[in-house]
Copies of this chain bind each other. A is one copy, B any other.
Amino acid sequence: MKATIKDIAKATQLSTATVSRVLSRKEGTYREETAKRVLAAAEKLGYRRNVAAADLASNSLKTIAVILNNTQTNFWQGILDGIQEAALKNHRQFIIFYAGNNNPAMLTQALNNALERQIAGILLVATKMNAEQLAILQHANIPYRFVSIYDPSQLDRTYVSSDNVVIGRLACQYLIDHGHSQIAFAGLDRSATGRERLLGYQQAMTKAGLTIDPTWILNGDYSFENGQSLFPQIHEADVTAVVAASDMIGAGIIQAAAQARVKVPDDLSVISIDGTQVCQMTNPTLTCVQQDFFTIGATSLNSLINNEQS
């Protein structure tokens, strides 16, 4: 039988109101000595606050929900660390709902589970939504942010990500600067994220006076396997270099290249986008355009709570 504030009230001969005030630190509404008695009793009884009851009573939503989609790529950690730091600074708690591995049914479920809780807002990490899910989200009338991956249908300020046009441009420019003129772009998905990176790539090519062969653009899903499976097409295409849409894509390409005895970077240069630890694990190591996932995570949380009314 768990101890409640009533038990503490009884033990200290105080009212539950006073106990509550002490326990939720409503400073200036109680005497130091009273606080000591209450805290001592709480400690002794092994009291633990019941957030559900508290939220229900106060009708104030403090908790942030994070929906985590298990993409094959691995940058959650940085994003979560950023979210955590920002949450700490703002005295917010966040809880994570797992949406499985790009599984629409699980995502719907995670979304519903989150919305059934008393929640101040939702952060969607690496999440792609279908129309139905988007409708649920918008209907809920709760602030949300797409983090790192987002869709073109999103309005202003509902997503937080790197500047993907710049990223695409930087990656491509790096290869151009190293003397390449036939450059593929591999592993893009059809989200706005993918499209913008592609745009950056196109800008860099155009600015350098280079033309792009349509066979150089290879769609995908950011995964390692996808990188491996795209390699033959890259190899056949008439290119000397490739921008990989993620580290995982890059690693997959490098691995498949090694298998096919194609030398990287001599026969094929690879640059990837993300900058996770994966870049150091391949042989040769991957050159990359780095995303600051920590900042993306922190920014998304801040943006969410500074604009909760939205």
Q: Which residues of A contact B (CB under 8 A)?
A: 46, 48-53, 55-56, 68, 70, 74, 77, 80-81, 83-84, 93-98, 100-101, 106, 113, 115-118, 139-140, 224, 251, 254-255, 258, 277-278, 280-283, 285
Chain B contacts of A251 at CB under 8 A?
A: 281
Chain B contacts of A116 at CB under 8 A?
A: 48-51
Of all chain B residues, which has the CB nearest A51?
Answer: B116
Ordered by A's residue number, 24 sampled pairs between the chains whose C-beta atoms are within 8 Å are A46-B139, A48-B140, A49-B116, A50-B56, A50-B118, A51-B52, A51-B118, A52-B56, A52-B118, A56-B56, A74-B74, A81-B100, A81-B101, A83-B98, A84-B100, A93-B113, A95-B96, A96-B98, A224-B277, A255-B281, A278-B281, A281-B281, A282-B282, A283-B283
Of all chain B residues, which has the CB nearest A49?
Answer: B116
Chain B contacts of A68 at CB under 8 A?
A: 96
Question: What is the bound-complex CA distance between A310 and B189, given in angstroms?
Answer: 47
The 10 lowest CB-CB distance pairs between A and B, nearest first, are: A52-B52, A96-B96, A283-B283, A51-B116, A95-B95, A251-B281, A49-B116, A258-B283, A52-B118, A281-B281
Chain B contacts of A282 at CB under 8 A?
A: 281-283
Chain B contacts of A224 at CB under 8 A?
A: 277, 280-281
Question: What is the bound-complex CA distance between A280 and B251, given in angstroms?
Answer: 9
Of all chain B residues, which has the CB nearest A258?
Answer: B283
* Best-buried of A46, A49, A52, A255 by chain B (most CB within 10 Å): A52
B70 touches A81 (CB 8 A): yes
Question: In the assembled complex, how far is the CB of residue A130 from the closest CB belonging to chain B, in whole angstroms?
Answer: 19
